[in-house]
Chain A
Amino acid sequence: AQKVTQAQTEISVVEKEDVTLDCVYETRDTTYYLFWYKQPPSGELVFLIRRNSFDEQNEISGRYSWNFQKSTSSFNFTITASQVVDSAVYFCALSEEGGADGLTFGKGTHLIIQP
């Protein structure tokens, strides 16, 4: 069965610092999809990025970047020059091709950006 581990329960940094959120996954499938979602204090999960298992190219979107490494089964998320509005709980998730279990989420990392 698939599993997603986000070892960092809570991270607190001062505004403008860079911060990396770790995500390690386990799956037996060769085809799978990885996602990051943001859950701000309002509670609604917001999609940030998806990546399929055949695309290891890193991605940058503004201050956000993602590093996917199959060799270490990791899909880490970096926020550059963090801002207070980045404060939220961030979830990493995994979906297997043809799987019947929906998205498997990690426990989430609570990110606190202090002004």
Chain B
Amino acid sequence: GAGVSQSPSNKVTEKGKDVELRCDPISGHTALYWYRQSLGQGLEFLIYFQGNSAPDKSGLPSDRFSAERTGGSVSTLTIQRTQQEDSAVYLCASSLEGLGSYNEQFFGPGTRLTVL
């Protein structure tokens, strides 16, 4: 079956612009996660959705970051007024169940964001 897909695969934007990143999880997976991978910070957890609900948004780096999930499926991560330090690979993952569960997370290929 299809894995986790993300779009776009690459995004180059100018500082100050808004960007929207999309994630399509594996069908039937109720949990969805966003991570950021950068050279300096490694892999950082950003936010988690169980269904359409995100119980904890404290992992988001700043209030310029927001995320939503609709219909228990597709999720979008929006970064407003992008800064150069936002440049990173944004990874999405999904799993059958939620946080702390035994189920492994399946990762998408990521979106490489470059802010000029």
Contact = CB atoms under 8 A, between A and B. Distances in A.
Residue of A97, A100, A106 with most partner-chain B CB within 10 A: A100
A44 B35 CA distance: 13
Contacts of A33: 100-102
A103 B95 CA distance: 12
Interface in B86-116: 89, 91, 93, 99-102, 104-110
Interface of A: 31, 33, 35, 37, 42-47, 50, 52, 91, 95-108
Contacts of B110: 43-44
Contacts, number: 61
Interface residues of B, number: 25
Contacts of B108: 44
B16 interface: no
Contact of B105 (A103, A104, A107): A103
Nearest to B112: A43
23 contacts: A35-B104, A42-B109, A43-B89, A43-B110, A44-B107, A44-B108, A44-B110, A45-B91, A46-B107, A47-B106, A50-B104, A52-B102, A95-B99, A95-B100, A96-B100, A97-B100, A98-B99, A100-B48, A101-B59, A102-B35, A102-B48, A104-B45, A105-B43
A44 B108 CA distance: 6
B56 A45 contact: no
